[in-house]
A and B are shown apart, each in its own frame.
Chain A
Amino acid sequence: NAGVTQTPKFQVLKTGQSMTLQCAQDMNHEYMSWYRQDPGMGLRLIHYSVGAGITDQGEVPNGYNVSRSTTEDFPLRLLSAAPSQTSVYFCATLRDRALGNTIYFGEGSWLTVV
């Protein structure tokens, strides 16, 4: 899935640790977002950004911070990891509205909090 790059792909954290999931895109898309996916729950929006310098909360923002200093990057920070944050995290970018609301997902980051 060239265009949206997520790192790391796998991570194990201890409860209380902090970390940052990185997301970078080279498609010059304005909109970027973070989703988490849990079994049987589909994907739920954590935070999103409509452009550099602008971020907003999604459905499940608690325990996560984001920033958007550039168009290309949208890191997701876990402030103090909890076992409930064990999940698969997907970064996504949105193609231009005029061309249709097509979302492109990164390959995912598997996070385990012990």
Chain B
Amino acid sequence: GQQVMQIPQYQHVQEGEDFTTYCNSSTTLSNIQWYKQRPGGHPVFLIQLVKSGEVKKQKRLTFQFGEAKKNSSLHITATQTTDVGTYFCAVSADRGSTLGRLYFGRGTQLTVWP
């Protein structure tokens, strides 16, 4: 199966600082998805990136997909306490019966100090 490495595992920031998490793959990806999981909660879909070099923004969140489609990043500008949680990237096979099989990174646990 596809492997995706996510770093860092933990990140502690002061409120107002920026935060970035990275996902890297040794193989070319068809797409990549990002999820957020609040403590004690379930993963919630944030976004899917499909195109090489794609950049998408959601308010203070910026998502990028690398030109070679082997890496991706999630950047949060001016973190707030509501950003606390674990952020996961996930990749999927995009054909046939393997559709729906997601391979998750291990996640980056973000702590925001007020």
Residues of A with Cβ closer than 8 Å to B?
Answer: 1, 31-33, 35, 40-45, 48, 50, 54, 56, 58-59, 90, 94, 97, 100-108
Contacts and interface: CB of A to CB of B under 8 A. Distances in A.
Interface residues of B, number: 25
Contacts, number: 68
A73 to B, nearest CB: 16
Given A40-B9, A40-B106, A42-B106, A104 B101 contact: no
Given A33-B101, A41-B106, A105 B42 contact: yes
Contact of A31 (B1, B99, B104): B99
Interface string B44-58: 110010000000000
B48 A42 contact: no
B42 A90 contact: yes
